[in-house]
A and B are shown apart, each in its own frame.
Chain A
Amino acid sequence: MNVPILQMRGITKTFPGVKALQDVTLDVNRGEVHAICGENGAGKSTLMKVLSGVYAHNTFDGDILFENEPCEFSSITDSEKRGIVIIHQELALSPYLSIAENIYLGNELAKNGWVDWRKTNLEAAKLLARVGLSENPVTPIQHISVGKQQLVEIAKALSKEVKLLILDEPTAALNDEDSDHLLDLILHLKGQGVTSIIISHKLNEIRKVADAVTIIRDGKSIETLRLDQGQITQERIIRGMVGRDLESLYPDRTPNIGEEVLRIEDWTVQHPQDHSRMVVNNASLNVRKGEVVGLAGLMGAGRTELAMSVFGRTYGRAVSGKVYKYGQEINTSTVSDAIDHGIAYATEDRKHYGLNLIEDIKRNISMAALNKLAKRGWVDGNKETTVANHYRKSMNIKAPSVAAITGKLSGGNQQKVVLSKWMFSDPDVLILDEPTRGIDVGAKFEIYTIIAELAAAGKAVIVISSELPELLGICDRIYTLSAGHITGEVPIAEATQETLMHFMTKEKE
């Protein structure tokens, strides 16, 4: 069974000034699911770009053997010809084209330059059946969910007669149900002889599907763990990734809960386009001083929509309901009103909504509260640098200086910049939306510590998360949301994954 399909030997890739990969070895056997684990910035994606030809063969050192033949790819097209297909974290689909058109994009079923639509749709339907997606092939991509789009990407890969499928964090944007479906599909394809490489942060997923795990740390391959040798355990993987054992995933804290800070009552939000749909429906919740409150819900339950509609009406239309702070009704209908009332919202999508990636750390940190650094409209640059240096130290942001460009930081450090920005605005209530998404284990612990310290300093914190263990690890109280309704409010002492999941899937009559 252990026939190698892919051997990468001594891969070294240097960017100007940075050694991204150093003497990396990767052996993948035919017909297995091979996971690649490592912290953000460890070099996983770079390795996959080397493999798939995004980096041409003359830009790195080392050898790649695929099916025992040496490979010299100059572009993705070359690697796809050999049956190596990569699916990136950010899906590469065109939203206005149909499913079938997307599947055959760049690879059209055509006669003399004219597309054969009948054949295209017919073949696409067959591929959709193979990946278990029951959608009409002529449906535009923008009308199906992200989970289904992921399946279309896989169908596209299958249309290219894939032998080695590379998935870069395929479940990062999926809910649990879609994730399960995807993982099942990977196992199913394995049965049909497709070898997969899967890059993932989620250790339980890896345990579910992987036959082997290669761990990458600081641009070096550390070790390859194999299932048949009983080596794949959570502790072992974490130890490999961070170089030591983590005693505890969550920091200890003793909550010191005071008076109510923020109360939201009867909050109702319409979908911005579909006016008949209530994305948030009559939701009420509160958070107290020094308290960490969780907001759990499946994808589409309305958690982010609830938070953003409260934070300056940045989502939805016809928002109704009341917001009280310390018992007084407040107006939060613009972002600056919300900020002035001491509310901060750190987005789940820091690259698109949280940071100015081409700007440096200090200017990102000062962005939401420039007036605190300014007199009559003029910013005091020295004070700004002092403030930024303070956060770099206290938040442990790893960068050469606060003048470093945020786009070049790793996910964890970017998230710390976002948190610094909001802490500098000196809020009473922080709403943190998926604060640890796309962040590796070590940095997660740092973020949890920061949250605990915020609560200890008397802030009221609301955490939105898709990872139930995370909510259970850091919250004092958890609300569950299902289809826009608050379906449960569970004190941490009574909360388990099962009870929460029960409320999260409950249909309000």
Chain B
Amino acid sequence: MSALRESLGFLTSRLRQVGIFVALILIVILFQVLTDGILLQPQNVTNLVVQNSYILILAIGMVMVIIAGHIDLSVGSIAGFIGAVAGVMIVHWGWAWWLAIPACLLVGALVGAWQGYWIAYVGIPAFIVTLAGMLIFRGLTLITLKNQQITPFPNELRALGGGFLPDISGGTSVLEWLTVILGVGGTAAILFQALKERRVRRKFNLENEPMAWFAVKNGFIAVLMLIITFLLASYRGTPIVLIVLAVLVIVYSALMNNSIFGRHTYAIGGNLHAAELSGIKTKKVTFRLFVNMGVLAALAGLVFTARLNSAQPAGGTGFELDSIAAAFIGGAAVQGGIGTVAGAMIGGLIMGVLNNGMSILGLGTDYQQLIKGLVLLLAVGFDIFNKNRTGSGGGSSMGRRFKWKTTPPATETSTPATPEPVVVDAK
């Protein structure tokens, strides 16, 4: 009984993280019922993944920029511009895909460097620079395309948007076995990682989440992964873009948590002055963040162009808003310093399921926009309500990560410091 109470206390203490997860599940169930089961049909699940992949790629870069306390309004235009550049390179100039893709990513990096220069070294607010960028790169898209779409693209590039991993059983099986292997392997890896982290936390005397919650959470994630694996495997297997996305999520999560660059990003967003006075080269970090955003926007533009099999003058319009919404629904703080790549992915999926479900229901873009706007407002509103309720000045996910109930508040008693050796040689 006390274990139950402990778990409940823990759940309320991290309402935000649990809430967003529950929200995603409720939305999925809601649309599954409303669409008479179309939502979770294998083909539609595959569609969902491919359709949202470029927003999710953008959301990775966006949440990093937001964590550092900036914003990027130009990513949609950059994605469109890179699509146009790819069209010119591949279709007009006849470049091979293995040359054109790195070249396009490089152009994306240069675009990011251009914006990063104005933001980091000149000191113009990112909102202004990227608002200008939104116009500039939309204009360059139109100029590059001469206002006409470029099509068709070769199959190798189109695979990036709509291709699947090869079927190793040669089409004889009901399930795609490669997908099953990847899915089950991935699930096992996630569980293994979670257990390992729990063991490390115990070793270093850091609070762990209650066992019951840990088991339920990870069991749930595992079941979810296996269901998705099964659905994908019973259609055409693993979309190539899902592999790309999975690699990006793993690499960028690690980067944000464990690399000096990631730590400096959080430090800058949390307290710019303190970061500067700690010797962090804040301008350099900011510059790099925007270069990175440019590369990811270029990748998103490539995926989008590949999927449509055409570079279009209006390509990428509105992507910036979807990716910003994904980051904020996923728990990023407007003031910076708080947010996770995983959260942004869940936020992006919520938006994606809403889009997809409402499209199946035949709702027009009018209602779709209305409902998506309300969801964004409610998600962030809930965040702020929640923050006020617990009276914590800090942020959403981090601040509530640990329970303070069982331990007394950190007030000082006045025992003088024990004269232990203080100066440490930290190798």
Show the binding face of A for B, using Cβ within 8 Å. 15-18, 20, 39-42, 218, 241-244, 246, 251, 311-312, 314, 334-336, 338-339, 345, 347, 352-360, 363, 366-368, 370-372, 374, 377-379, 381-382, 385-387, 389-391, 393-396, 398-405, 407-410, 412-413, 421, 423-424, 426, 440-443, 445-446, 449-450, 453-454, 457, 459
Contact = CB atoms under 8 A, between A and B. Distances in A.
22 contacts: A244-B414, A312-B277, A335-B276, A335-B280, A339-B279, A358-B399, A367-B263, A367-B267, A367-B278, A382-B204, A387-B426, A389-B204, A393-B420, A396-B418, A398-B411, A400-B402, A401-B205, A403-B206, A407-B392, A408-B409, A408-B410, A443-B412
A335 B411 contact: no
Contacts of B416: 251, 442, 445-446, 449
Contact of B277 (A347, A372, A389): A347
A355 B337 CA distance: 12
B404 interface: yes
Most A C-beta atoms less than 10 A away, residue of B205, B403, B422, B423: B422
Q: Which 4 A-B pairs have the closest CB atoms?
A: A442-B414, A356-B270, A242-B414, A41-B411
B414 A39 contact: yes
Given A39-B414, A357-B394, A450-B422, A18 B279 contact: no
Contact of B412 (A40, A358, A377, A386): A40
Contacts of B99: none
Contact of B207 (A242, A335, A339, A403): A403
A360 B414 contact: no
A353 B426 CA distance: 24
A244 B419 CA distance: 20
B391 interface: yes
A354 B419 contact: no
A409 B394 CA distance: 12
Nearest to B407: A400
Contacts of A394: 420-422, 424
A357 B270 contact: yes
A374 B260 contact: yes
A368 B412 contact: no
A44 B309 CA distance: 67
Contacts of A353: 271, 273-274, 277
Contacts of B392: 405, 407-408
Contacts of A443: 412, 414
A352 B426 contact: no
A370 B275 CA distance: 12
Contacts of B337: 356, 358-359
B390 interface: yes
B287 interface: no
B366 interface: no
Given A390-B424, A407-B393, A410-B411, A336 B281 contact: yes
Nearest to A450: B422
Contacts of A440: 412, 414
Contacts of A371: 260
B405 interface: yes
B398 A441 contact: no
Interface string B226-264: 000000000000000000000000000000011111011
A358 B401 contact: no
Interface in B271-295: 271, 273-281
A86 B421 CA distance: 44
B417 interface: yes
B413 interface: yes
A243 to B, nearest CB: 7
Contacts of A398: 410-413
B36 interface: no
Contacts of B277: 311-312, 314, 335, 345, 347, 353-354
Contact of A408 (B267, B394, B413): B394
A242 B407 CA distance: 21
B422 A395 contact: yes
